[in-house]
Amino acid sequence: MRKVHVNLGKNSYDIIVENEILAKAGEHIHCAGGKIFVVSDTNVAPLYANTLIDSLNKAGYECELYLIKAGELSKNIQSICPMYEAMLSFGLTRKDLVIALGGGVVGDLTGFVASTYLRGVDFVQIPTSLLAQVDSSVGGKVAVDLAQGKNLVGSFFQPKAVLIDTAVLATLPDSFYIDGMAEVIKYGCILDKDLFEKLDSIKDRASFMEQAEAIIANCCQLKANIVERDELDKGDRMLLNFGHTYGHAVEKYFNFERVSHGVAVGIGMSVVTHLSEKAGLTAIGSAARLDKILTQYGLDTHIEADQDEIIANMANDKKNLGKELVIVLISEIGKSFLYPTTSEFFRECK
């Protein structure tokens, strides 16, 4: 078992990483009112909802399970009214608790609903995808999508706890494992050379799983350090966007359908590092090391696409409105910095 404390004053909480913690979740949950509203999706619930709810019942809590359809389309503003109504019918009060059991979609949507129901009710994240375990469940960003774009309505609302069960990764399809690995590699690139080297030495998914508890806790600690310094994403927290500017433009180019978030971030990290190396901003050889590790984990380093359109997507991104674009670069593996530029930086893509 590993514990990471996120120190945010009265919004502080623990992240507990442990194999099979799901079956003991009730021991880690505190809910004065005694009612727990569990949100999960149609992929995750059949595998894990019973284990969680049995453990909560054993601890004396009354539970209601609410299911959303698996997939990004559920993370939308229309999904939230039926959720509020179900919470009211269950009699959920501000002394009670909401749990998100699932990947990033479930976590973001549930967190947003918890942050607004009765002006805020406590919630706990139990992330089940690698990507959610190392990134989206930590740090309190909660949101829903609008037709115009992803995460356009949201808030910062920290969970009361994050419980990470590494055992649930066993049922994760390979494509989701690969997707999450892009974010794990990102932490090594921007903040932790030792983590990068450890990842480099891992040859397959089975070997990763042997060290999953330590690696996931390491990523959560790195993110906690950043969130403690910059909870509201006005400075250092932007370092977590390494690879995301170009990556997000790629996702948009393919209408968020063909290329998953992690794969797009992998491509984005590679593209920006080749360019920054050429511009003399990054130690020579860093891009080659990055490409090697991305390939080793089944990620791509480039994609065929119309670069003019990708650059136009970047310029129109909600985060980049105006001419200036702040991108994240690495000076070498394990060290990163923010670099103000424009989307023209990407003109000479490999």
Using the rule CB under 6 A, which residue among 24, 141, 150, 186 binds ligand GLY? 141
If binding is defined by CB under 6 A, does position 233 make contact with ligand GLY? yes
Cβ closest to ligand GLY, residue 104 vs residue 334: 104
Which part of the chain contacts ligand GLY (CB under 6 A), choosing from 39-47, 82-90, 134-142, 148-156? 134-142
If binding is defined by CB under 6 A, does position 317 make contact with ligand GLY? no
Using the rule CB under 6 A, which residue among 35, 150, 237, 261 binds ligand GLY? 237
Tokens of 68: 């959303």
From residue 11 to residue 50, the character string flagging contacts with ligand GLY as x (rule: CB under 6 A) and all else as - is ----------------------------------------
Instruction: Tell me the C-alpha to C-alpha distance, in Å, between residue 106 and each of 65, 184, 219.
Output: 13, 20, 21
Non-local (6+) Cβ contacts of 258 within 8 A are: none
To 5 degrees, how large is the angle CA 173–CA 178–CA 179?
A: 95
Other C-beta atoms within 10 Å of 30: how many?
A: 10
Cβ closest to ligand GLY, residue 190 vs residue 259: 190
Instruction: Tell me the C-alpha to C-alpha distance, in Å, between residue 102 and each of 51, 122, 133.
Output: 13, 17, 10
SS3 42: coil
Total residues interacting with ligand GLY, rule: CB under 6 A: 6
Cβ closest to ligand GLY, residue 139 vs residue 159: 139
Cβ closest to ligand GLY, residue 141 vs residue 150: 141
Using the rule CB under 6 A, which residue among 26, 103, 107, 139 binds ligand GLY? 139
If binding is defined by CB under 6 A, does position 240 make contact with ligand GLY? yes
Q: Which of 68, 60, 55, 62 minimizes the C-alpha distance to 36?
A: 62
Cβ closest to ligand GLY, residue 141 vs residue 274: 141
Q: Which of 152, 145, 178 minimizes the C-alpha distance to 72?
A: 145
Burial of 72 (0-12, 13-18, 19+ CB in 10 A): middle
Which part of the chain contacts ligand GLY (CB under 6 A), choosing from 11-19, 98-106, 145-153, 232-240? 232-240
CB of 179 to ligand GLY, least distance (A): 14
Classify the phi-psi angles of 123: left when phi > 0, otherwise alpha if psi is within -120 to 50, otherwise beta: beta
Q: Which residues would be at the binding site for ligand GLY (CB under 6 A)?
A: 135, 139, 141, 233, 237, 240
